[in-house]
Amino acid sequence: MDFKLLNTDPKSSARTGELTTDHGKIQTPIFMPVGTLGSVKGVHQRELRDDINAEIILGNTYHLYLRPGLDVLEKAGGLHKFNGWERPILTDSGGFQVFSLAENRKLTEEGAMFRSHIDGSKHFFTPENVMDTQRTIGADIIMAFDECPPGTSTYEYSKNSLELTQRWLERCVKRFDETEPKYGYSQTLFPIVQGCVYNDLRIKAAEHAASLNREGYAIGGLAVGEPVEDMYSMIEVVNEVLPKDKPRYLMGVGTPVNILEAISRGVDMFDCVMPTRNGRNGMIFTSEGTINIKNKKWYDDFSPIDPNGTSYVDQNYSKAYVRHLIHSGELLGSQICSIHNLAFYLWLVREAREHINAGTFASWKEIMVKKLATRL
């Protein structure tokens, strides 16, 4: 993988760049739709590619390991062949999902034992077998196996957790470097910087990750219950340490405002389930603010969902119609809102890129943040 830093905003740490993988180029900053089980819920690959203009999507190691399983993925020739997506894919390591199973998992030095959320069966993830699993899934960018402590963790817990994550990271790097990709194209491994909300731990984690000289770095363990001010502060602390010439990926974040604030602090890559999950519940993000389409005020509003929207759904369907679909539990309602929201998120990062390149990002961001925080 190759990363080229293109422009930096004069009044913030925002930057544009270009990532090159064997499955294509990615312009940064970029938002990556989440395709947990190999599918972005309710959205065809054609819509992702041609309408939403997604340049890269995510898959989830934990979920894909359980279903359809590694045997099927290997027989298919990897996730790209299995789901018909020809552009880049990133997989997370499953660490966050295992962390989410607090009642059903046990951490040891060797790895994490957990019970499947599907049938209760026992499984064991280690840094080594998670690297092997992601080799089999075949994503272009893969993540190290880590523990993700809650945002409210004590200093002592966070310190011990980070030390375990760092030992696991070294094992991930060793395993990755002694194995080969399976499907004839290259893969790259991103370490994940943890450390909860503690400056010294985040600095220690970033310095350790940077010392391993990988092609990109992820910032994990944020948006997991800590105040938003702490999240922004930790991004600043980490990005002071991480190499300027490598991409930085903020995992699992966030709202449109979060994304603009993180871009201004030097983050290049984002993913979040919010556009689709909230979309399925009738929340629509627009350039003028957020709509709860379930509200009575929209029941006879026949204007387009978003007059400024870039997706075909924005001009083809009215607010009243989409409200009717969501209220009636019709699948099409969830689908329309998901497609709109994803297209909006991709529009937002494209606009950010244009303003960074033009040197006007900081002033544009201030205006946008106020608009995006508005409830319509």
Where in the sequence numbering do the catalytic residues fall?
Answer: 92, 271
> Is residue 178 classed exposed, middle or buried when 0-12, 13-18 and 19+ CB atoms within 10 A define those classes?
exposed
User: DSSP readout, 98-140?
Assistant: HHHTGGGEEE-SS-EEEE-TTT--EEEE-HHHHHHHHHHHT-S
Structure tokens at 77: 């020739």
Does 96 show up as a binding residue in the annotation?
A: yes
Ligand-binding annotation for 194, yes or no, is yes
Q: Residue 146, annotated ligand binder?
A: yes
Give CA separation, 301 vs 253, 296, 318, 320, 339, in Å: 32, 10, 7, 5, 20
- Is 2 labeled as ligand-binding? no
- Interatomic CA distance for residues 362 and 10, integer angstroms: 8
Q: Is the peptide bond before 88 cis (omega within 30 degrees of 0)?
A: no
Residue type at 162 in one-letter notation: L
Peptide bond into 225 cis (omega under 30): no
Annotated ligand binding at 93? The verdict is yes
Phi, psi (degrees; rounded to nearest 5) at 184 = 85, 10
**Nearest-angstrom CA–CA distance, 168 and 110:** 8
Cα angle vertex 111, ends 92, 155, to 5°? 80
78 marked among binding-site residues: no
Alpha-carbon span 176 to 187, nearest angstrom: 9
Nearest to 242 by CA among 206, 270, 208, 218: 206
Q: If DSSP codes are grouped into helix, strand and coil, which group holds residue 369? A: helix
Contact 201, 159 (CB under 8 A): yes
> Do the annotations mark residue 84 as ligand-binding?
no
Task: For residue 195, say whether it is annotated as part of any ligand binding site.
Answer: no
Nearest by Cα to 142 from 227, 230, 216: 216
Binding residue positions for substrate: 92-96, 146, 194, 221
Binding site as annotated, residues: 92-96, 146, 194, 221
